[in-house]
A and B are shown apart, each in its own frame.
Chain A
Amino acid sequence: MKASRKALIFLFLSTVTAFGLVYLYFWLTDGSGGTEGITRELMGSVIARRALVRSLSVLPSIAIFVTITAFSVLFTLAPFQEEFSYSAVAVPSHLFLLLLIVFIVLSQLLLIPKTNRETEWRIYHANAEERALSLSGRFAREGDPRRAVTVLDTYLEMDRMNETAVKKREEFLEMLRKRSSDFGKTMEEETRGTVQTEAPPTYYERGKAALQREEYHQALYYLERALTLHSDNAELRELYARTEKRVGLLIGSLTENEEEIQSLIQRKGRALAYIEQEDYYAAYEILRELHERYPGLGDLALYLHTVEEELKKTDFLPSEPRKYEWLPSFDSIIFMDGGGYINTVRRLVVWNDTYYFYGVDRYRPDGSKMCSYLYGKYIEGKILLKNDTGFVGPACDESVIVPPVDPAILPFIMDTGTLDDRLTVYERFSLGDKLLSAGVDVEDALVYLSRQLGILFAVYVLSLLLGTIGWAKRSIYEFPPVLKLIIFIVTVPLLSHLLLFLYRGANDLLIYSFRYVQRSVFRNTNVAVFTALVNGIIALAVTFFFLSKSSRID
């Protein structure tokens, strides 16, 4: 029991020490490549994550090294000079190895891909911050503080607590106030005028509040909305009638032409009917024209705003992607969609979980160009495309792309190596076929699983095999000779790493040979089962070899 406890402590401390040293090495030697322009604080976080990922990638080699060291050196040191049975060290070592393998499984299949993706997004957001600050500074220097504030407002939508950005915004706002003091309202005052600080909860109350402010068109809008909900409310009907009369007088003051007034009322009525039918494109067309003609009519502006908000759920205005055009982007992406069309994207900007596309070209399967669009936005599972047009109507097939995968994956598909490191095991199985149909060179999920099994079996087999050989040839000294120990410490980590690669390479050969074996013997099985079977037999043999040893010194 004493020997077992000591063995476990030695193994645990060795693993933690080796992992810590490796982590420190990667942390110190990170060249910070690709992190230019990001803040020192975030750089620290990115480097720490990268070091963690690299250390976890090397964890299999660490496991092998620790086992070899334990059986060659550690279990021969002074604390183990008292008599003990081999099983007192073998059993806890075996269990510890299995636990370590479970942790390796979790890190390879889940932790590493997730951390890589998270790091990528952090760097992207940091680049966005850097660009927001530098661009706003440039606008301010060029004498355009309004644009500078707009840029920072966009950035702060995502990161409200960013102190640097908030401070800079205040500076530019102050600049704008000084400049605008002779010329009217500042941006803040403009927005303050139209936004209620505390909106009353119901349409009826909002209507009454607007009446008190003598904003009759607004009151009309709110009371009309209230009436659709409570058409039997006598008080409401009376208030609406009075307001309508008042507004009629106001319209009358806009034009003396009775026909024009009637036309205005009729067209507004049609627009409201379209809103009731949820035909928002038709309502938008009427309301936009009316609002351009009669900008003073507040109710039209409010109805237009309501319709626009409804349309934005399934459509977008070009002004929206233009607002985010300055943000960093993922460039030059190509993929196929469900219809077999090839789509190229010049830039993809991701902001606040929304995806904007710029410069999208679509090609038919034969390579001939079909159409080009300036902008695109990912809405409800589709990429909607348009040029410089507003809400013109439901999109045609040509201007809608159904992407094969979530756009969050699109930035990584251009480089197989990048994608490999960023897909979890779940995504491999759920998205593998979809990615292949998108033209992405992704490995078959079962082959991926076979390779991962190769890593796990490599750790198990090599640890036990080399540990057993080390035990059989172990040092008889109380402490090994210094020179040999130094050579051991220099050589064995590299050797563990090399042998791990060789075993994984042999596993790759096994996967490769499956295509030939399948023709004769393993017809109804898949490559993962075949790999697990062969590796399992080897693991079993090595386990027997490991357990067959004794504490007797040869």
Chain B
Amino acid sequence: MKFIIKTTLKLLLFFFLLVLPIGLFITFLALSMRGVPLWNLGLRNIVDYGFNYLPHTVVVSYVLAALITVSLVDRIKVKSLFAVHVPVIIAGIITGAGLYYMQEAPVYADTELNVGKNTFFKNDVFSSADGLSIMTRGANTYHVYNRKTNTLSTFVSRREAASSLKADLDRGTFLLYGPDGPVTVPLPPGRRNETLVTMGLVVRYAERARLVYRRIHASSEGLGTNEKLMLAAALVLSTLMILIPLVWTLNDSGWRCAGLFGIFFFLGLAPYFSGFLITMLKRFEPNLLFMGAWKFLFPAVVFGGVGIVIDVIAGLAKKAGR
């Protein structure tokens, strides 16, 4: 009992330590993938936008905290793999409940980014985008240099260019209004020096994770809010069911760093493995009538099943080792 309470508290401590950096990381990654540079985005803007990713932040922080806690458990004192699952589930219930109730609170809102010309352009310098170099002067003058034709055009945009910046953010373009009518111009990409989110491996991993998330989201269309929440919780727990025994196996009392390093090894593989499982499920389209109204939980059941199998193998391997 003492172990369960102590480990749960440790997990929650790790969770609260991780939630802010993970939240910032996810927010910046989301902004970067949307092509929004960070150097002139106000802090309030970032925080407001970050709240859109509160569920993602909570889930990732919880999973990471759980795995770090499991990898640091002293296996000389604690021998039962089952016992390690209990604090994880308890902490999961607490954080899940917290997230559920936070949805009602005013802090969690579906906020849009507040961007303007100054988000993308520095005055009096040329920014490159798609074969064009664009310079802003003052409030509404734009010089646009076309590198292919070596021509410079100047637009004095009388209309509010900021509104077009907001509207076309997802397309990555904005409108300039000149004497001959509107012209579509690409938005310059973010500066290279935002190192947090420009590491190629990180971006590729995030895109893969987003793909898996979208597949799951697509498969849950038509479900009510409570059912979606149930599916999300079940998937998170069932993913942990797979990861915990793997990390536990590497948590070697003789070399405990292996457990810590192993977390990143398995997390790195997780989106690819999950993506593979989901693809297989879609391909084979099993008959889910036996699950009745709970058939939407089938992916989580499969993940959990795989986790149980790994638990059993880990347990048997340990007995064989003895």
Chain A contacts to B: CB under 8 angstroms: 72, 331-332, 334, 342, 344, 346, 359, 361, 363, 365-369, 414-417, 420, 436, 439-441, 443, 451, 469-470, 473-477, 480-481, 484, 487-488, 490-492, 494-495, 497-498, 501-502, 504-506, 508-509, 512-513, 516
With A and B bound together, what is the CA distance between A234 and B255 in angstroms? 102
29 contacts between A and B (CB under 8 A): A331-B147, A344-B150, A344-B151, A346-B150, A361-B152, A414-B128, A414-B133, A416-B191, A420-B192, A469-B260, A476-B254, A476-B255, A484-B258, A487-B250, A488-B258, A491-B264, A491-B265, A491-B268, A492-B261, A495-B264, A498-B264, A505-B25, A505-B195, A505-B197, A506-B21, A506-B196, A509-B24, A512-B38, A513-B43
Q: Are A441 and B201 in contact, CB atoms less than 8 angstroms apart?
A: no
Q: Are A516 and B43 in contact, CB atoms less than 8 angstroms apart?
A: yes
With A and B bound together, what is the CA distance between A549 and B255 in angstroms? 17
CB-defined contacts of A470 to chain B, threshold 8 Å = 257
Beyond contacts A439-B124, A441-B127: 17 other A-B pairs, Cβ-Cβ < 8 A, are A342-B152, A365-B137, A366-B141, A416-B192, A436-B124, A441-B126, A443-B191, A475-B257, A476-B255, A484-B258, A491-B264, A494-B201, A501-B202, A505-B25, A505-B194, A509-B196, A512-B38
CB-defined contacts of A487 to chain B, threshold 8 Å = 250, 258, 261-262, 265
Q: Are A508 and B194 in contact, CB atoms less than 8 angstroms apart?
A: yes
CB-defined contacts of A334 to chain B, threshold 8 Å = 126, 133, 145, 152
B120-141 CB contact bits vs A (8 Å, 1 = yes)? 0010111110000101010001
Given contacts A72-B257, A509-B24, contact A439 B264 (CB under 8 A): no
Interface magnitude class on chain B: 35 or more
CB-defined contacts of B256 to chain A, threshold 8 Å = 473
With A and B bound together, what is the CA distance between A85 and B124 in angstroms? 60
B303 at the interface (CB under 8 A from A): no
Q: Are A501 and B255 in contact, CB atoms less than 8 angstroms apart?
A: no
B259-284 CB contact bits vs A (8 Å, 1 = yes)? 01110110010000000000000000
* Closest chain A CB from B198 CB (angstroms): 8
With A and B bound together, what is the CA distance between A490 and B261 in angstroms? 10
CB-defined contacts of A504 to chain B, threshold 8 Å = 195-196
With A and B bound together, what is the CA distance between A441 and B128 in angstroms? 9
Question: Which of A477, A494, A509 is B254 in contact with, Cβ under 8 Å?
Answer: A477
B252 at the interface (CB under 8 A from A): yes
CB-defined contacts of B145 to chain A, threshold 8 Å = 332, 334, 344
Q: Are A332 and B126 in contact, CB atoms less than 8 angstroms apart?
A: no
* Closest chain B CB from A318 CB (angstroms): 20
Q: Are A481 and B255 in contact, CB atoms less than 8 angstroms apart?
A: yes
CB-defined contacts of A494 to chain B, threshold 8 Å = 201, 264, 268
Q: Are A441 and B122 in contact, CB atoms less than 8 angstroms apart?
A: yes
Given contacts A504-B195, A505-B25, contact A491 B126 (CB under 8 A): no
B234-262 CB contact bits vs A (8 Å, 1 = yes)? 00000000000000001010111110111
With A and B bound together, what is the CA distance between A365 and B152 in angstroms? 12
CB-defined contacts of B141 to chain A, threshold 8 Å = 366-367
Q: Are A484 and B264 in contact, CB atoms less than 8 angstroms apart?
A: no
* Closest chain A CB from B241 CB (angstroms): 21
Q: Are B154 and A367 in contact, CB atoms less than 8 angstroms apart?
A: yes
The 9 closest A-B pairs by CB, nearest first: A505-B196, A367-B154, A332-B147, A473-B256, A475-B255, A441-B125, A504-B195, A473-B257, A484-B258
With A and B bound together, what is the CA distance between A494 and B267 in angstroms? 13
With A and B bound together, what is the CA distance between A484 and B247 in angstroms? 11
* B205 closest partner in A (C-beta): A498
* A471 closest partner in B (C-beta): B257
Q: Are A439 and B196 in contact, CB atoms less than 8 angstroms apart?
A: no
Q: Are B202 and A367 in contact, CB atoms less than 8 angstroms apart?
A: no
With A and B bound together, what is the CA distance between A477 and B268 in angstroms? 27
Q: Are A502 and B196 in contact, CB atoms less than 8 angstroms apart?
A: yes
CB-defined contacts of B202 to chain A, threshold 8 Å = 498, 501
With A and B bound together, what is the CA distance between A332 and B128 in angstroms? 12
Q: Are B24 and A440 in contact, CB atoms less than 8 angstroms apart?
A: no
Which B190-218 residues have a C-beta within 8 angstroms of A? 191-197, 199, 201-202
Q: Are B28 and A505 in contact, CB atoms less than 8 angstroms apart?
A: yes
B319 at the interface (CB under 8 A from A): no
Question: Which of B137, B193, B262 is A451 in contact with, Cβ under 8 Å?
Answer: B193
CB-defined contacts of B152 to chain A, threshold 8 Å = 334, 342, 344, 361, 363, 367, 369
With A and B bound together, what is the CA distance between A469 and B258 in angstroms? 12
Q: Are A475 and B254 in contact, CB atoms less than 8 angstroms apart?
A: yes
* B141 closest partner in A (C-beta): A367
CB-defined contacts of B268 to chain A, threshold 8 Å = 491, 494
CB-defined contacts of B125 to chain A, threshold 8 Å = 436, 439-441
With A and B bound together, what is the CA distance between A541 and B152 in angstroms? 54
* B38 closest partner in A (C-beta): A512
With A and B bound together, what is the CA distance between A417 and B127 in angstroms? 11
* Closest chain A CB from B53 CB (angstroms): 16
CB-defined contacts of A490 to chain B, threshold 8 Å = 265
With A and B bound together, what is the CA distance between A501 and B198 in angstroms? 9
CB-defined contacts of A505 to chain B, threshold 8 Å = 25, 28, 194-197
Q: Are B128 and A415 in contact, CB atoms less than 8 angstroms apart?
A: yes
Q: Are A488 and B148 in contact, CB atoms less than 8 angstroms apart?
A: no
* A413 closest partner in B (C-beta): B126
B143 at the interface (CB under 8 A from A): yes
CB-defined contacts of A332 to chain B, threshold 8 Å = 145, 147-148, 150
Given contacts A332-B147, A488-B261, A491-B265, contact A508 B196 (CB under 8 A): yes
Q: Are A414 and B147 in contact, CB atoms less than 8 angstroms apart?
A: yes
With A and B bound together, what is the CA distance between A273 and B260 in angstroms? 88
Q: Are A439 and B126 in contact, CB atoms less than 8 angstroms apart?
A: yes
Q: Are A484 and B255 in contact, CB atoms less than 8 angstroms apart?
A: yes
CB-defined contacts of B16 to chain A, threshold 8 Å = none
* B147 closest partner in A (C-beta): A332
Q: Are B196 and A359 in contact, CB atoms less than 8 angstroms apart?
A: no
* B197 closest partner in A (C-beta): A505
With A and B bound together, what is the CA distance between A436 and B122 in angstroms? 11
* Closest chain B CB from A58 CB (angstroms): 12
CB-defined contacts of B294 to chain A, threshold 8 Å = none
With A and B bound together, what is the CA distance between A436 and B124 in angstroms? 8
Given contacts A346-B150, A501-B202, contact A417 B265 (CB under 8 A): no
CB-defined contacts of A513 to chain B, threshold 8 Å = 43
* A470 closest partner in B (C-beta): B257
Q: Are A440 and B126 in contact, CB atoms less than 8 angstroms apart?
A: yes
Q: Are B126 and A473 in contact, CB atoms less than 8 angstroms apart?
A: no
B39 at the interface (CB under 8 A from A): yes
Question: Which of B128, B150, B201, B260 is A416 in contact with, Cβ under 8 Å?
Answer: B128
With A and B bound together, what is the CA distance between A332 and B146 in angstroms? 8
With A and B bound together, what is the CA distance between A508 and B199 in angstroms? 14
CB-defined contacts of B122 to chain A, threshold 8 Å = 441
CB-defined contacts of A331 to chain B, threshold 8 Å = 147, 150
CB-defined contacts of B39 to chain A, threshold 8 Å = 512
Q: Are A359 and B255 in contact, CB atoms less than 8 angstroms apart?
A: no
Given contacts A439-B124, A441-B125, contact A508 B195 (CB under 8 A): yes
With A and B bound together, what is the CA distance between A476 and B126 in angstroms? 59
Q: Are B199 and A498 in contact, CB atoms less than 8 angstroms apart?
A: yes
With A and B bound together, what is the CA distance between A512 and B43 in angstroms? 9
Which of B21, B133, B151, B153: most chain A CB closer than 10 A? B133
* Closest chain A CB from B264 CB (angstroms): 5
Q: Are B261 and A491 in contact, CB atoms less than 8 angstroms apart?
A: yes
CB-defined contacts of A481 to chain B, threshold 8 Å = 252, 255
* Closest chain A CB from B79 CB (angstroms): 18
* A513 closest partner in B (C-beta): B43
* B135 closest partner in A (C-beta): A439
CB-defined contacts of A417 to chain B, threshold 8 Å = 192
CB-defined contacts of B128 to chain A, threshold 8 Å = 414-416
